[in-house]
Structure 1
């Protein structure tokens, strides 16, 4: 990698992991055809999604519910809200 690589401008985080964890991450990364760094970025992005991604997902849900027959929309929204509440409780 060149010392002038754009990746050198990115934020860096150094972490310490228990013995053997790096190897476990490497095995999973290899099975996904990723570097260890790329694998960790995927996991971090899933755990800490960008707010704009959440907005996009919510918009997708709204569009799906809007396509349902009018008589099913209230139940669909209730189901969405119940699921979100359950997920919220799991993360609090």
Structure 2
């Protein structure tokens, strides 16, 4: 068996954390049935989402709106755009 597991081929980042933080992360990871690494990846992915995931979420929204009765779609799209505008303003 090769000593090169697939995970060894991934990019690696080493970080220093304040005393006690690793233990706090470990407790949350355990409660989520994840490793510390997996827990950190979830948090990082939320903060730095892949653009293709954003496209997938937008497609999900479009699909959901498309399933609504035609007479409700315009109002729902207006709500979606208003919410996106609010979120955009909160992040700028």
Per the normalisation by structure 2, the TM-score is: 0.88
1:6 corresponds to: 6
Per-residue deviation, 1:89: 2.1
Give the count of matched residue pairs: 91
> Unpaired segments of 5 or more residues in structure 2?
none
Per-residue deviation, 1:15: 1.2
Give the Cα separation in 2 of the matches to 1:7 and 1:20: 27
2:63 corresponds to: 63
| Larger displacement relative to structure 2 (50-59 or 2-11) | 2-11
1:44 corresponds to: 44
Per the normalisation by structure 1, the TM-score is: 0.88
> Unpaired segments of 5 or more residues in structure 1?
none
Secondary structure, in 3 states, of the residue corresponding to 1:14? Answer: coil
Give the Cα separation in 1 of the matches to 2:77 and 2:54: 17
Q: CA RMSD in A?
A: 1.4
- 1:28 correspondence with 2:28: yes
2:16 corresponds to: 16
Give the Cα separation in 2 of the matches to 1:16 and 1:84: 35
Give the Cα separation in 2 of the matches to 1:82 and 1:27: 38
Secondary structure, in 3 states, of the residue corresponding to 1:64? Answer: helix
Per-residue deviation, 1:40: 0.3
2:78 corresponds to: 78
